Amino acid sequence: METINFVLSGLGGQGVLFMTKILARAALNKGLKVMGAETHGMAQRGGSVVSHLRLGDVKSSLVRTDSAHFLLALEENEAYRNIPFLAKKGRMYASASENSFPRQEVRPYLEKIGVISRSVPAADMAMDLGAPMSINLALLGFFSAFKEGPVGHDEFRATIDQVSPDRFKEINLKVFDAGFEKGSKENR
Amino acid sequence: MREEIFLGNGAVALGLVEAGCQVVTSYPGTPSSEILPEVVRLVKSEGLNTYVEWSTNEKVALDNAYAAAISGKRAACCMKQVGLNVAADSLMSAAYIGTTGALVIISCDDPGPHSSQTEQDTRLMARLAKVPVLDPSNPEEARDMVKFALDLSEEFKVPVILRPAIRVCHARQNLSWDTLENNEKKASFEKDPGRWAATPRFRLVLHGQLNEKLRKIAKKFDGLTAYNFHDLEPGKKYPLGIIAGGVPYSVVRDILDEEGRKDIPLLKIGTPYPFPDGLALEFMAACEKVIVIEETDTVIEYFLRDREKVLGRLSGHVPSEGELVPQVIYGLISKVLENLNLKPFAGNGDREAFELVQSLDLPIRKPTLCPGCPHRASFFAIRKARPKAIFTSDIGCYTLGLNLGAVDTCLDMGAAITLASGFYHSFDQDQVKQPIVATIGDSTFFHSGTSGLLNAVYNDARFILVILDNAITAMTGMQPTPGLGIRADGSKGNAIPLEKVVAGCGVDFIEVIDPYDIKATTKLIKKANEYVNDPNGGIAVIIARHPCVIAYREEAIPQPIKVTVTEDCEECNLCLDRFECPALFKDEELERVAVNQALCTGCGVCLQICPKGAIVEA
Q: What is the pLDDT of residue B367?
A: 83
Band of pLDDT at residue A1, cut at 50, 70 and 90: low
Reported ipTM: 0.94
A42 closest CB neighbour out of B254, B362, B367: B367
Percent of chain A whose predicted confidence (pLDDT) is above 70: 96
The CA distance from B535 to B88, in Å, is: 40
DSSP 8-class letter at B309 = G
Count of helices and strands (H, E) across chain B: 23, 23
Band of pLDDT at residue B297, cut at 50, 70 and 90: very high
Q: What is the pLDDT of residue A48?
A: 85
Q: What is the mean pLDDT of chain B?
A: 96
Closest CA to A4 of A159, A149, A154: A149
Q: What is the pLDDT of residue B1?
A: 87
Distance of CA B250 to the CA centre of its chain: 22
Tell the CATH topology of A4-186.
Answer: Pyruvate-ferredoxin Oxidoreductase; domain 3 (3.40.920)
Hey, how many other C-beta atoms are within 10 angstroms of the C-beta on B491?
8
Quick one: closest CA in B to A127, which residue?
Answer: B598
The CA distance from B67 to B263, in Å, is: 50
B170 closest CB neighbour out of A28, A37, A59: A37
Mean pLDDT to the nearest integer, B426-433: 97
Mutation test of the interface with chain A: which of B80, B115, B174, choosing the one with the most A Cβ atoms within 10 A? B174
Q: What is the pLDDT of residue B413?
A: 96
Do the strands B540-545 and B509-513 form a parallel or antiparallel pair, or are they unpaired?
parallel
Lowest average pLDDT, out of B3-12, B29-38, B124-133, B357-366, goes to B357-366
The CA distance from B21 to B75, in Å, is: 5
Do the strands B592-595 and B584-587 form a parallel or antiparallel pair, or are they unpaired?
antiparallel
pLDDT in tens, B119-158: 999 999 999 999 999 999 999 999 999 999 999 999 999 9
Q: What is the pLDDT of residue A178?
A: 96
Q: What is the pLDDT of residue B335?
A: 95
Cross-strand partners of B438: B392, B465
pLDDT at B434 over 80: yes
Question: A75-79: long-range contacts at Cβ-Cβ below 8 A with a sequence spacing of 24 or more?
Answer: A75/A9, A75/A10, A75/A11, A75/A14, A76/A101, A76/A103, A76/A119, A77/B362, A77/B363, A78/A9, A78/A10, A78/A11, A78/A48, A78/A50, A79/A9, A79/A117
Tell me the nearest-neighbour CA distance from A143 into chain B, angstroms.
22
User: CA angle, A48 as apex, A18 and A86 as ends, to 5°?
Assistant: 85
Determine, for residues A25 and B5 on separate chains, whether the beta-carbon distance falls below 8 Å.
yes
Determine, for residues A40 and B170 on separate chains, whether the beta-carbon distance falls below 8 Å.
yes
Determine, for residues B250 and A38 on separate chains, whether the beta-carbon distance falls below 8 Å.
no
Q: What is the pLDDT of residue B609?
A: 95
Q: What is the pLDDT of residue B152?
A: 98
Write the DSSP assignment of B193-220 as a string of letters: HHHHT--HHHHHHHHHHHHHHHHHHHHH
Q: For residue B316, give the amino acid letter.
A: G
Write the DSSP assignment of A95-113 as a string of letters: ES-TTT-S-GGGHHHHHHT
Band of pLDDT at residue B363, cut at 50, 70 and 90: confident
Percent of chain B whose predicted confidence (pLDDT) is above 70: 100
Helix (H, G, I), strand (E, B) or coil at B267: strand
Percent of chain B whose predicted confidence (pLDDT) is above 90: 95
A59 closest CB neighbour out of B138, B174, B400: B138
Q: What is the pLDDT of residue B454?
A: 98
Contacts of A104 (CB under 8 A, 6+ apart): none
DSSP 8-class letter at B551 = T
Q: What is the pLDDT of residue A133?
A: 85
Band of pLDDT at residue A41, cut at 50, 70 and 90: low
Please state whether the peptide bond connecting residue A20 to the residue before it is cis, i.e. omega within 30 degrees of 0.
no
pLDDT in tens, B516-547: 999 999 999 999 999 999 999 999 999 999 99
The CA distance from B327 to B592, in Å, is: 43
Q: What is the pLDDT of residue B547?
A: 97
Q: What is the pLDDT of residue B350?
A: 74
Mean pLDDT to the nearest integer, A60-80: 96
In total, the C-beta contacts within 8 angstroms joining chain A to chain B are 151
Please state whether the peptide bond connecting residue A102 to the residue before it is cis, i.e. omega within 30 degrees of 0.
yes
pLDDT at A45 over 70: no
Q: What pTM value is reported for the model? A: 0.95
User: CA angle, B45 as apex, B40 and B48 as ends, to 5°?
Assistant: 70
Tell me the nearest-neighbour CA distance from B172 into chain A, angstroms.
5
Band of pLDDT at residue A42, cut at 50, 70 and 90: low
pLDDT in tens, B50-100: 999 999 999 999 999 999 999 999 999 999 999 999 999 999 999 999 999
Percent of chain A whose predicted confidence (pLDDT) is above 90: 83
Determine, for residues A60 and B174 on separate chains, whether the beta-carbon distance falls below 8 Å.
no
Band of pLDDT at residue B416, cut at 50, 70 and 90: very high
Q: What is the pLDDT of residue A47?
A: 78
The CA distance from B390 to B375, in Å, is: 17
